Structure 1
Amino acid sequence: MTLGHGNNAALEALIIGTSEAACRLREMIRRVARSNASVMLCGPSGSGKELVARAIHDEGARAGKAFSAINCGAIPGELIESELFGHEKGSFTGAHARRIGHFEATEGGTLFLDEIGDMRFDMQVKLLRVLEDRTIVRVGSSDVKAVDVRVISATHQDLGAAIADGKFREDLFFRLGVVVLQVPSLANRAEDIPALIRHFQRQMPADAKCRFDDAAMTLLMQHAWPGNVRELRNFVERASVLHGGETLGFEDVAMLLNPTAALAPRRAVPSSPAAVPASADDVAAAAPHAKTPAPGRPIDLKREIETIELEQIHVALDLADGIISEAARLLTLKRTTLIEKMRKYGVHQQAA
């Protein structure tokens, strides 16, 4: 997927591919772009939901206005209200100046709320009120300000289950999902893979582009792609770095799809920056080899555990493209627990 600039002719280049799923998605984008209704995008991580949100914005009447994106899973719960609605100077510790929130900054345009399923329950109530009244109040202020913003939200979670468990408000779901649009996984549009590869290679110099024989392309189209389009893009970049200008066969592609296996001999060096797995299934297997105590050579066990923990946090964040909620899922941690560990090790958030 790539972005166009607000006309139907450009939409053919906007969503890459000729599969039934890609054609259906383009048609749905055209339809929802004509209205001002709130849209909820559902689909797996890496499938291109933000690009679809941008496409809806670019194809609609708000195309000349601002588009703003905020990842609800990447911002600590105590800061999300300020991010959305802004705050006044002195309203809380660290509020050294007035700050305009995303709703005000996106006046007349489109606000994309990614990973909406990660939003704290108390914030869901405040967001619902804003969507119903079309007004916001900055943190620390009593002044009510009208806003004209179209909201598009996205999630990879099962919000039906979250509603049943009391973790997501049903009334907010209906307010955000006037139209619910499913973004397909890459596995459900595998026939688009050759076109997507050509698209990702378009900006590469000729000597960096790889070619794939029939067996290699068949393997690519049969791969599960748990990371979806994002994983395919990373694969194309990895192939260009390691095999630029070459024609790759089945075994070459198999190795590129599982680069951790090729790096296994180097796993004895925990600090190696190259030892990074490329799929979610490799997170657990990516831990460095533990040191074995020897006579007269004690091991600082706490430090060794912290080293392993820090490495796995970096690995998970890399696999999740900086999305904290997805990284927490890979690590089987709660999002708040991962945020606490990131603070402990001084790991900065990698998602906007």
Structure 2
Amino acid sequence: MRQGLTGQTTALADKSDAGHRNTAIASALRTLVTEAEGLQALHTALSDGLGAPFSRTVDLIRALKGRVIVTGIGKSGHIGVKLAATLASTGTPAFFVHASEASHGDLGMITTDDVVIAISWSGETQELATTIAYTRRFKVPLVALTSREDSSLGKASDIVLALPRVMEACPHGLAPTSSTIIQMAMGDALAIALLESRGFTAQDFSVFHPGGKLGASLKHARDIMHTGDALPLAGADLPMREAIVLMTQKGFGVLGITDTHGALCGIITDGDLRRHLRSNFLDMTAAEVMTANPKSIAPDMLLASAVEFINAVSITAVFVVEDGKPVGIIHLHDLLRSGAA
């Protein structure tokens, strides 16, 4: 009897756990749907009236002699920190000034050559009053990122990026959720529009991201390739008995085959050796065993692209070719050591 009750209790507990999981998943899905609707509302607004002030903001920042100063407090402040960092990393000098700290000396960071982007969902954030007054006194351009164009912030600003008033995912309508999502999305849209308008390249990007995996992926093939005597190369008429020795000595698991002009015309891999293994194999020439027209990359290919390329064609080593001639080789292990893979 006791075992029966225990079994029933376990079954009820499992059913309860399953119910909690389903409830949590349903809640998560509602949150995502609500926030996605907020992004759609922002998309619609940018296609309509918000597009004009957005373009004016891009033009204003592009013409700056100074920097973009982003300010805010609370959740809007967190979004402001992210916006300033994104702008700075994509070619627009920017930093964040905390709205509260501005009253205690940080206003000195703002010059008349700068532009201030103030973020406040309500537009009535009391801590922003000092910064607003400062920009008006010294004629520093002020851009408002707010949902209320008729707010104190909106009325004081030179440009208002009026965000659509969206429903928060929080069931009580209190925790900033959908509102912060579209604030961040608007900031990203502004940063990318500025990036594209300046023709900011991956090479420019690498200047600001020299460290970590991102920095490694922004290096080029020429930065890590093996060159000179390290290259596993042989002529097309080399007997396979010698080709195998050379291939083993170089240690890349491949042997590049060149024609009489020094151009890469083929490659021998472990797979080629197995496919041609027969009684007269050692007497065959490299040209008879090689796979013609091997895959290759250029010296200026980004390592991020090289990783994608190697994964796509399922190879472990690739020759770097310039003007048809092999100038280097990269092994998958090189990409792993560099941090790009």
TM-score by length of 1: 0.25
Of structures 1 and 2, the one with the larger relative CO (CA 8 A, separation 6+) is 1
TM-score where L is the length of structure 2: 0.26
| Larger CA Rg, structure 1 vs 2 | 2
Higher share of residues assigned strand: 2
